Structure 1
Amino acid sequence: MGASEWDYYVPYQEDLDAALQQLRRRVFDAGDYFWVNGGGWRPEEGREPRPRTLEELCQDELVRDAGTHSILDVFQVLGPDDTPDCNTVEPVSAEEARELLGTDKLTRAHVKDFDVFPRSRWVGRCAVLHDEQGQPQEICFWGHSGD
């Protein structure tokens, strides 16, 4: 199947990890992810119902290998001194935004240029987006995951 790109926008809140956890819950509850055990590649009698909890989903061996091709494949937002690793989200720093896009107040207009930010498969990125007055308005999460 290959990896899938994904992106999500949520209202701004100071705690980026809390925003991620709320988003993950919303995506899980909506069933808006690839469910490998219920896929059309399996015969009808071999398909399994979707997990009842996010914890059940994350414990599934096929899900750990193939992913969900969604925000559910990342588990936490890193702090400024943390090293990006599989299943984490690395925030765009003010320095990185200034160096690569010329401003530390990113807006929706900058999103089309986010491919300049280094990224790896199974590691998400996030950035705070600002309004025209420079006030934080939303958070953009993006990445690519799945096999």
Structure 2
Amino acid sequence: MGASGWDYYVPYQEDLNAALQQLRREVFEAGDYYWVNGDIWLAAAEEREPRPQSLKELWEDESVQESGTHSILDIFRVVGPDDTPDYNTVVPVTAEEARELLGTDKLTRAHVKDFDDFPRSRWIGRCAVLHDDEGNPQEIHFWGHSGD
């Protein structure tokens, strides 16, 4: 099937990892991810098998472990500034990175079109705090590619 790109906007909160975990719960509860049914990937409206009842149950499925969900559910945690990014993590855009690549450390929705300039890898997501016109944190944008 190949990897799928995904992106999400959530209201700003200072704790990026808490925002990620809340987003993961919401996506899981909404069923907004690909779920394997045998060898065929089926969207929610077309599936025949019941979906898992928890994220733990979802990740116990061998097909999900191998191929992912093609969504934010494939990302487990936000890495800190001293951590090394690894599969299933999300790396925040730093102020230095934003200034170097986009000329500002107060990113807005208008900058999202240029986010492909930020280094990224499949199965490692990115996130950026987006600001309003007055420079106040407004929301968090998560994006990336995952799934096989």
Q: CA RMSD in A?
A: 1.4
Residues 37 and 62 of structure 1 are in contact (CA less than 8 Å); yes or no, is this contact kept in structure 2?
no
Match of residue 21 from structure 1 = 21
TM-score after normalising by structure 1 = 0.93
**Structure 1 unaligned regions, length at least 5:** none
Aligned length: 143
Residue type of the alignment partner of 2:58? L
Unaligned runs of 5+ in 2: 43-47
TM-score normalised according to structure 2 size:
0.93
Opposite residue 22 of structure 1, the aligned amino acid is Q
Which residue in the other structure is 1:83 paired with?
84
Structure 1's consecutive aligned runs of 4 or more residues displaced over 4 angstroms after TM superposition are 38-42
Deviation of 1:102 (Å): 0.4
Offset at 1:49?
A: 1.5
Work out the percentage of aligned pairs sharing the same amino acid: 80
Q: CA deviation at 1:48?
A: 3.0
SS in 1 for 2:130: strand
Which range is displaced more, 109-118 or 58-67?
A: 58-67
Aligned residue for 1:26, secondary structure, equals helix
Q: Give the Cα–Cα distance (whole angstroms) in 1 for the partners of residues 93 and 51 of structure 2.
A: 33
The DSSP-based 3-state class of the residue aligned with 2:114 is helix
CA contact (8 A) 2:5 2:146 kept: yes
User: What is the rounded CA distance, in whole Å, between the counterparts of 1:39 and 1:101 in structure 2?
Assistant: 42
Q: What is aligned with 2:100? A: 99
What residue number does 1:121 align with?
122
